């Protein structure tokens, strides 16, 4: 109790130091029952004070979602994804323009139109290929924050620039205003009760769009609502091998999610396990049509990972990404897939370990900016192990 009599700054500093040092203990300490009952006891008060200090993030423990969510521009560096889809960040990101010949970015105020150059090039290519298949154009949903990392709201993944959401609503004939893009509500393709696709609004063009997205070797997974997966399982004729990449998952009833693999130049990018062999039109899909996956969350108040992640939760390199220099403007790191593009300046890598500027492109892409070119195809995936519960 002696310390409590010291001058305020000294006491505060000491308490902070003690709290930091013993934070681990306090986080895990189970207060014995007798102690819980004597809240007014001075010792209990000290315990509570220390525990409170420990719970309050210090500067170094600021939530990663706040730090990454505050960044409006990418870190200028060679493109590099660091960590895992749900725990990481990326440098050298580029933006997809708000408008393209065959796409429009939705909810632009979120500023989540950033990705690894390969991801952005792939979306632009998909927009062209899909148009050739009869899909008028893409409504592009969230990709990543400028430097990735956990988001203030929404997704658990989308952290390393290799995930993108595309709406299952075709681009309308008339250009959407910025206001419409912010507010236009999405069309749910799946009945919330039966978890089956609404046949009145499902069209073959939906299938062709998903098939086209799955056709690119860079794409490792496409997440859709289980109802959409079932519709594909029930109706796709001919080549069905691509169904393997299409994975059932909660949500994803108005958009689908494209996930590409780790790209060359990203030694610290953590690959996801390969999907199970086969089309996935089996028991693993049947599980989604039982009651189990839809049970109410037993622990709704449990904080989500993004709500507790600090910089210490992320790969150490993410600090350099956070501290990396801004480009002169968003425009100079906006990627136009028509050859006009300017990719991220790569003269000042922020990461000591950064390899020479990674070259990115999408296989089969036509005109690419001078700053990107072809790279080897995504490595062959290993023999996957069956998993008891379908993962995403």
Residue 112 in the binding site for Zn ion (CB under 5 A): no
Which candidate, 238, 93, 61, 60, places its Cα nearest to that of 159? 93
Token duo for residue 71: 């960044």
Q: Which is nearer to Zn ion, 102 or 257 (CB)?
A: 257
CB 146 within 8 A of CB 72: yes
Residue 268, SS3?
coil
Q: Which is nearer to Zn ion, 156 or 345 (CB)?
A: 156
Q: Which is nearer to Zn ion, 87 or 257 (CB)?
A: 257
Q: Which is nearer to Zn ion, 54 or 210 (CB)?
A: 210
Q: Which of residues 12-71 bind Zn ion (CB under 5 A)?
A: none
The DSSP 8-state label assigned to residue 144 in this structure reads B
Q: Which of residues 164-223 bind Zn ion (CB under 5 A)?
A: 165
Q: Which is nearer to Zn ion, 245 or 359 (CB)?
A: 245
Token duo for residue 173: 């004939």
CB 167 within 8 A of CB 138: yes
Which candidate, 231, 275, 269, places its Cα nearest to that of 253? 231
Q: Which is nearer to Zn ion, 251 or 339 (CB)?
A: 251
CB 92 within 8 A of CB 371: no
Site string for Zn ion, 234-273 (x = CB under 5 A): -----------------------x----------------
For the bound state, the minimum distance from the C-beta of residue 224 to Zn ion, rounded and expressed in Å, comes to 11
For the bound state, the minimum distance from the C-beta of residue 223 to Zn ion, rounded and expressed in Å, comes to 7
**C-alpha dist (Å) from residue 103 to 130, 204, 269, 335, 359:** 10, 20, 28, 13, 24
Site string for Zn ion, 130-169 (x = CB under 5 A): -----------------------------------x----
What is the rounded distance in angstroms from the CA atom of residue 211 to the CA atom of residue 218?
A: 14
For the bound state, the minimum distance from the C-beta of residue 141 to Zn ion, rounded and expressed in Å, comes to 7
Q: Which is nearer to Zn ion, 76 or 258 (CB)?
A: 258
For the bound state, the minimum distance from the C-beta of residue 21 to Zn ion, rounded and expressed in Å, comes to 40
Number of residues that bind Zn ion (CB under 5 A): 2
Residue nearest to Zn ion (CB): 257
CB atoms within 10 A of CB 194: 10
Which candidate, 258, 287, 290, 270, places its Cα nearest to that of 387? 287
Residue 281, SS3?
coil
For the bound state, the minimum distance from the C-beta of residue 95 to Zn ion, rounded and expressed in Å, comes to 17
CB atoms within 10 A of CB 116: 31
For the bound state, the minimum distance from the C-beta of residue 315 to Zn ion, rounded and expressed in Å, comes to 21
DSSP string, 343-382: ----SS-SSTT--S------TT--S--TT----PPPPPP-
Q: Which of residues 371-390 bind Zn ion (CB under 5 A)?
A: none
For the bound state, the minimum distance from the C-beta of residue 154 to Zn ion, rounded and expressed in Å, comes to 8
For the bound state, the minimum distance from the C-beta of residue 165 to Zn ion, rounded and expressed in Å, comes to 4
Q: Which is nearer to Zn ion, 81 or 361 (CB)?
A: 81
Spell out the alpha helix ranges (H) of the chain.
Answer: 8-21, 23-28, 33-37, 42-55, 64-69, 117-132, 178-183, 204-215, 226-235, 283-286, 317-323
Q: Which is nearer to Zn ion, 127 or 157 (CB)?
A: 157
Please list, residue by residue across 289-323, b when 16 or more beta carbons sit within 10 angstroms of its beta carbon and e when fewer do: beeeeeeeeeeeeeeeebeebbbebbbebbbbbbe
Q: Which is nearer to Zn ion, 113 or 257 (CB)?
A: 257
| Residue ranges that bind Zn ion, judged by CB under 5 A | 165, 257
């Amino acid at each position: 109790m002696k310390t409590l009599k010291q001058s305020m700054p000294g006491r505060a500093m000491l308490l902070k130091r003690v709290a930091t040092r013993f934070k681990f203990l306090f986080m895990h300490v189970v207060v014995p029952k007798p102690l819980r009952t004597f809240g007014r006891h001075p010792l209990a008060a000290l315990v509570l004070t220390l525990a409170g200090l420990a719970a309050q993030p210090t500067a170094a423990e600021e939530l990663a979602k706040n730090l990454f969510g505050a960044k409006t521009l990418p870190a200028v560096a060679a493109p590099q994804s660091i960590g895992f889809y749900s725990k990481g960040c990326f440098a050298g990101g580029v933006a997809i323009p708000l408008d393209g010949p065959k796409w429009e970015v939705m909810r632009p105020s979120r500023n989540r139109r950033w990705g690894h150059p390969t991801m952005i090039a792939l979306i632009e290519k998909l927009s062209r290929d899909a148009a050739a298949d009869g899909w008028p154009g893409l409504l592009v949903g969230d990709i990543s924050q400028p430097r990735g990392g956990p988001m203030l709201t929404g997704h658990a993944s989308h952290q390393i620039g290799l995930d993108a959401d595309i709406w299952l609503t075709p681009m309308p004939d008339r250009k959407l205003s910025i206001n419409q893009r912010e507010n236009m509500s999405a069309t749910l393709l799946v009945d919330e009760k039966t978890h089956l696709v609404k046949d009145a609004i499902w069209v073959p063009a939906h299938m062709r769009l998903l098939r086209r997205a799955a056709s690119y070797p860079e794409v490792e997974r496409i997440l859709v609502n289980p109802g959409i997966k079932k519709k594909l399982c029930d109706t796709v004729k001919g080549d069905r091998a691509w169904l393997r990449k299409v994975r059932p998952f909660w949500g994803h009833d108005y958009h689908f999610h494209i996930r590409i693999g780790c790209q060359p130049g990203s030694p610290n990018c953590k690959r996801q396990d390969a999907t199970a062999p086969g089309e996935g039109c089996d028991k693993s899909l049947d599980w989604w049509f039982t009651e189990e996956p839809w049970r109410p969350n037993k622990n709704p108040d449990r904080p989500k990972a993004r709500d507790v992640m600090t910089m210490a939760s992320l790969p150490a390199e993410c600090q350099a990404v956070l501290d990396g220099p801004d480009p002169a403007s968003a425009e100079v790191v906006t990627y136009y897939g028509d050859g006009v593009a300017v990719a991220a300046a790569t003269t000042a890598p922020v990461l000591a370990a950064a390899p020479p500027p990674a070259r990115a492109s999408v296989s089969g892409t036509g005109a690419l900016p001078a700053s990107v070119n072809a790279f080897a195809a995504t490595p062959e995936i290993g023999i996957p192990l069956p998993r008891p519960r379908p993962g995403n």
